[in-house]
């Protein structure tokens, strides 16, 4: 009896606690939904910033864990067992093992984890209103950490962009945000992750805005800035507040005579960045073609790329010995770039050997990145692009130093300018390249050379290759980014929405006004085209008829109304090749709800169709529904392929 009473008391306490929790949750939801959308979005951006900062920290820990698993632990075991002569084999085998794990995740969990990540986020923002699969950020952390931790040549920006965007999309879905709010939250998530990863809040904000929106999406800057700042602060708490590149010497740009040489560097970077984009995807095509021909299972493709990277790592290790990290093409470390900036990569060797070293690192990074990502590995292209730009700039600076007697510090100056210029030409985000480079090197005194080199590289590269390294991946899949990012009404022409002439109710100019009123009552339309014989002479509306019947109840016909209207204002029409956006703008300016669609034939203007507000609304809804259905179909198709392909 006592036990039963005690259980009853405990049950009541639990029930009371649950009711309190439900009540508190209800009040929080009521308060949250009651605040203004602008404040709500900024509060959510703060939460997304925290998630992005934590995601960057977890991602960094995951890379270190896989590096320990693939390198430190095997090397320690070989040393303990007295098999130190086999240590070089670790550099050959580890990238393949990491690639095998990535191949398994791609084939069994989600195809979206392969590649460099940013194009998938770009497509989500532009085409799917920021919706993303929640599996992606979790799988991306593991796949990209395995790629980078096993020695793959890739960057952290693509994975962290998908990670931040994926969690932001989840928050947006759970809170049932509007499409615009969800897109903004996803962009903010990317800004938070990038900012925390590189300790660069300005660069992270610009990367998210410049790369993801391409100037075509409606962007509210404050949520992006808030997320970037919060993400950076959280990242600094866990990862430290040092700039991305350490050992960077203080530089001051004071010599205007260097401007022509900086411009020349920009031209060279523009040419080579366009070449890099073409080479990257040509290599991917070459590998896929031969993999299909040889019937290589998809799960093994990243492992084969890893084997190629392993050959490069092994060669570098055998040549450099204990100093291998200063010359490695691994994506997990920035030591080679730090060595260039600190000058330690330039030992007392001949100029020929130094030039060969920089050129070798330039070429090996190109090849290793293509092997890593082009075969299905998971990682970004931002950091490899910076690496390539640094080596290219240092190579040019060294040539100028020896050929023209410039100081050694100019080699570092050209290396930094090359870093910004090469990304500006590759990613087509010059503002991001300029300011993020300044933040990562913690030197804003170099803005003039950075701006010159990045701008020129951007212009040259865009002329040689219209698409950047992110959007070209989408174009190759048949996704036209320009079409995606344009407004729906900008994509539909008037001829697709109009009612053709043969389906119109036409009013004759000799018809009595009472007969027109009968047609209005029967059709429930309020405007009609008027013809005199075979000639289109104007439009008559319900308002025109009512006004004429009041002022001239017996003696007026339709032709009298048209003559009175033509003396007051000219006929308004639109071409069949205009967009619905242009038609809507014309309707608003002229305060009309219908437009005749006109065409000039044989010197005469004829009516070929009729466009109303209803036609525009119908086309908008149909196109919106089609894009949503296609997006869902892609998800179902991807899921089906993942389950049945292997």
Local confidence band at 361 (pLDDT 50, 70, 90 cut-offs): very high
Q: Which of 611, 644, 628 is nearest to 539 (CA)?
A: 611
Residues 410 and 550 in one domain: no
Inform me whether the pLDDT recorded for 177 exceeds 60: yes
- 199 or 174, which is more confident: 199
Residues 440 and 387 in one domain: yes
Residues 521 and 451 in one domain: no
- pLDDT tens digits for 512-553? 888 888 888 888 787 888 888 778 888 888 877 788 777 776
Least confident of 326-335, 341-350, 369-378, 530-539: 341-350
User: Which residues on adjacent β-strands are paired with residue 598?
Assistant: 575, 607
Q: What is the dihedral of CA 412, 415, 417, 419, to 10 degrees?
A: -140
Torsion-angle region of residue 533: left (phi > 0), alpha (psi -120 to 50) or beta?
A: left
CB 377 within 8 A of CB 154: yes
- pLDDT tens digits for 201-214? 999 999 988 888 76
- 60 or 113, which is more confident: 60
Report the 10 Å Cβ neighbour count for 173.
15
Whether residue 400 is contained in a domain is answered as yes
Sequence-distant (6+) residues with CB within 8 A of 210 are 429, 431, 432
- 134 or 369, which is more confident: 369
Residues 538 and 398 in one domain: no
Give the pLDDT score at 251.
74
Whether residue 69 is contained in a domain is answered as yes
Whether residue 271 is contained in a domain is answered as yes
Local confidence band at 568 (pLDDT 50, 70, 90 cut-offs): low
CB 188 within 8 A of CB 221: no
**Residue ending a domain, choose from 486, 515, 530:** 486
Residues 185 and 273 in one domain: no
Q: Where are the beta strands (DSSP E) in 364-522?
A: 499-500, 507-508
Local confidence band at 642 (pLDDT 50, 70, 90 cut-offs): very low
Give the pLDDT score at 478.
67
Whether residue 629 is contained in a domain is answered as no
This prediction has a pTM of 0.75
CB 172 within 8 A of CB 185: yes
Give the pLDDT score at 450.
93
Residues 236 and 187 in one domain: yes
Sequence-distant (6+) residues with CB within 8 A of 92 are 307, 310, 311, 313, 314
Q: Identify the H or E element spanning 538.
A: strand 535-541
Could you tell me the residue range of the domain that residue 162 belongs to?
Answer: 39-240
Q: State the average pLDDT over residues 54-68.
A: 94
Residues 291 and 305 in one domain: yes
Q: State the average pLDDT over residues 433-440.
A: 92
Give the pLDDT score at 638.
46
Local confidence band at 480 (pLDDT 50, 70, 90 cut-offs): low
**Residue ending a domain, choose from 205, 240, 275:** 240
- Distance of CA 552 to CAs 311, 450, 514, Å? 94, 75, 12
Whether residue 630 is contained in a domain is answered as no
Residues 5 and 79 in one domain: no
Local confidence band at 590 (pLDDT 50, 70, 90 cut-offs): confident
- pLDDT tens digits for 224-279? 999 999 999 999 999 988 888 876 777 767 778 788 899 999 999 999 999 999 99
Q: Identify the H or E element spanning 547.
A: helix 542-551
Residues 48 and 155 in one domain: yes
Inform me whether the pLDDT recorded for 119 exceeds 50: yes
Inform me whether the pLDDT recorded for 64 exceeds 50: yes
- pLDDT tens digits for 181-197? 888 899 999 999 999 99
- 601 or 54, which is more confident: 54
CB 429 within 8 A of CB 122: no
d(C-alpha 610, C-alpha 499), whole Å: 5
Residues 15 and 58 in one domain: no
- 365 or 251, which is more confident: 365
Please state the domain count of the chain: 4
Whether residue 247 is contained in a domain is answered as no
Inform me whether the pLDDT recorded for 148 exceeds 80: yes
Residues in the chain: 646
Pairing of strands 604-612, 499-500: antiparallel
Least confident of 64-68, 138-142, 414-418, 503-507: 503-507
Place of tokens 């290599």: 283
Instruction: Please state, for a pLDDT cut of 70, what percent of the chain lies above it.
Output: 85
Whether residue 627 is contained in a domain is answered as no
- 485 or 379, which is more confident: 379
Q: Which of 135, 128, 155 is nearest to 63 (CA)?
A: 155
Local confidence band at 624 (pLDDT 50, 70, 90 cut-offs): low
Local confidence band at 621 (pLDDT 50, 70, 90 cut-offs): confident
Residues 434 and 296 in one domain: yes
Residue 53 structure tokens = 């900062």
Residues 94 and 233 in one domain: yes
Least confident of 26-40, 140-154, 276-290: 26-40
Whether residue 631 is contained in a domain is answered as no
Inform me whether the pLDDT recorded for 441 exceeds 80: yes
Give the pLDDT score at 217.
54
Q: State the average pLDDT over residues 491-502.
A: 83
Residue 368 structure tokens = 């290793």
Local confidence band at 584 (pLDDT 50, 70, 90 cut-offs): confident
Q: Which of 639, 481, 590, 585 is nearest to 120 (CA)?
A: 481
CB 171 within 8 A of CB 185: yes
- Distance of CA 402 to CAs 339, 397, 410, 482, 582, Å? 20, 9, 11, 46, 60
Inform me whether the pLDDT recorded for 484 exceeds 60: no
Considering Cα of 65, then 68, then 74, then 78, what sign does the dihedral take?
negative
Local confidence band at 72 (pLDDT 50, 70, 90 cut-offs): very high
Q: Which of 483, 497, 479 is nearest to 579 (CA)?
A: 497
**Residue ending a domain, choose from 486, 514, 546:** 486
Place of tokens 């409606």: 218
Give the pLDDT score at 496.
85
Give the pLDDT score at 129.
73
* 3-state secondary structure at position 294: coil
Backbone angles phi, psi at 413, to 5 degrees: -60, -45
Instruction: Calculate helix-pair angle for 37-67, 221-239, nearest 10 degrees.
Output: 30
CB 545 within 8 A of CB 517: yes
- 238 or 569, which is more confident: 238
If you average pLDDT over every residue of the chain, what do you get?
83
CATH of the domain at 365: 1.10.3080.10
Q: State the average pLDDT over residues 90-119.
A: 87
- Distance of CA 271 to CAs 51, 263, 460, 589, Å? 39, 13, 6, 47
Backbone angles phi, psi at 218, to 5 degrees: -75, 120
What is the largest distance, in Å, between two alpha-carbon atoms of the chain? 115
Inform me whether the pLDDT recorded for 631 exceeds 70: no
CB 209 within 8 A of CB 221: yes
């Amino acid at each position: 009896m006592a036990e039963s009473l005690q259980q009853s008391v405990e049950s009541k306490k639990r029930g009371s606690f649950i009711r309190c929790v439900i009540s508190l949750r209800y009040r929080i939801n009521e308060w949250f939904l009651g605040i203004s959308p602008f404040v709500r979005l900024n509060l959510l951006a703060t939460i997304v910033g925290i998630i992005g900062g934590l995601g960057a920290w977890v991602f960094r820990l995951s890379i270190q864990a896989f590096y320990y698993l693939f390198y430190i632990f095997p090397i320690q075991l070989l040393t303990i067992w007295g098999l130190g002569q086999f240590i070089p084999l670790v550099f050959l085998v580890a990238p393949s093992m990491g690639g095998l794990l990535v191949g398994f995740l791609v084939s069994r969990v989600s195809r979206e984890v392969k590649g460099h990540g940013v194009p998938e986020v770009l497509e989500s923002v532009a085409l799917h209103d920021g919706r993303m699969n929640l599996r992606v950020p979790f799988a991306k952390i593991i796949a990209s950490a395995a790629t980078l931790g096993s020695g793959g040549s890739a960057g952290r920006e693509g994975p962290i962009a998908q990670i931040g965007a994926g969690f932001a999309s989840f928050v947006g879905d759970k809170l049932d945000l509007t499409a615009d709010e969800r897109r903004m939250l996803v962009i903010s998530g990317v800004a938070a992750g990038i900012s925390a990863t590189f300790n660069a809040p300005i660069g992270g904000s610009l990367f998210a805005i410049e790369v993801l929106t391409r100037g075509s999406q409606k962007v509210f800057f404050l949520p992006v800035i808030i997320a970037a700042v919060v993400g950076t602060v959280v990242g600094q708490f866990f990862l430290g507040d040092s700039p991305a590149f350490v050992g960077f010497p203080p530089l001051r740009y004071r010599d205007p005579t260097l401007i022509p040489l900086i411009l020349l560097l920009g031209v060279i970077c523009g040419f080579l960045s366009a070449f890099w984009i073409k080479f990257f995807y040509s290599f991917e095509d070459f590998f896929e073609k031969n993999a299909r021909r040889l019937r290589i299972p998809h799960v093994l493709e990243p492992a084969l790329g890893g084997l190629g990277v392993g050959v490069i790592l092994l060669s570098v290790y055998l040549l450099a010995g204990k100093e291998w990290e200063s010359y490695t093409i691994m994506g997990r470390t920035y030591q080679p770039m730090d060595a260039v900036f600190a000058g330690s990569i330039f030992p007392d060797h001949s100029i020929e050997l130094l030039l060969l070293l920089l050129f070798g690192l330039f070429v090996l990074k190109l090849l290793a990145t293509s092997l890593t990502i082009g075969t299905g590995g998971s990682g970004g292209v931002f950091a490899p692009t910076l690496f390539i730009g640094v080596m290219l700039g240092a190579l040019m600076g060294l040539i100028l130093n020896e050929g023209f007697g410039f100081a050694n510090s100019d080699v570092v100056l050209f290396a930094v300018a090359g870093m910004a210029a090469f990304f500006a030409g590759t990613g087509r985000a010059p503002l991001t390249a300029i300011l993020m480079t300044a933040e990562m090197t913690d030197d804003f005194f170099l803005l003039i050379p950075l701006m010159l080199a990045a701008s020129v590289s951007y212009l040259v590269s865009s002329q040689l290759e219209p698409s950047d390294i992110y959007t070209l991946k989408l174009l190759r899949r048949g996704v036209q980014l320009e079409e995606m990012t344009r407004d729906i009404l900008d994509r539909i022409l008037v001829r697709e929405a109009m009612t053709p002439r043969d389906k119109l109710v036409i009013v004759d100019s000799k018809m009595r006004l009472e007969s027109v009123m009968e047609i209005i009552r029967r059709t429930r339309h309020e405007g009609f085209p008027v013809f005199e014989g075979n000639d289109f002479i104007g439009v008559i509306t319900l308002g025109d008829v009512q006004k004429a019947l009041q002022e001239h109840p017996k003696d007026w016909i339709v032709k009298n109304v048209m003559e009175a209207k033509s003396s007051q204002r000219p006929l308004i029409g639109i071409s069949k090749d205009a967009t619905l956006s242009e038609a809507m703008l014309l309707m608003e300016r002229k305060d009309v709800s219908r437009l005749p669609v006109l065409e000039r034939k044989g010197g005469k203007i004829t009516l070929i169709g009729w466009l109303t507000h209803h036609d525009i609304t119908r086309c908008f809804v149909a196109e919106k529904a089609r894009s949503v259905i296609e997006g869902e179909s892609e998800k179902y198709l991807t899921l089906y392929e993942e389950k049945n392909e292997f």
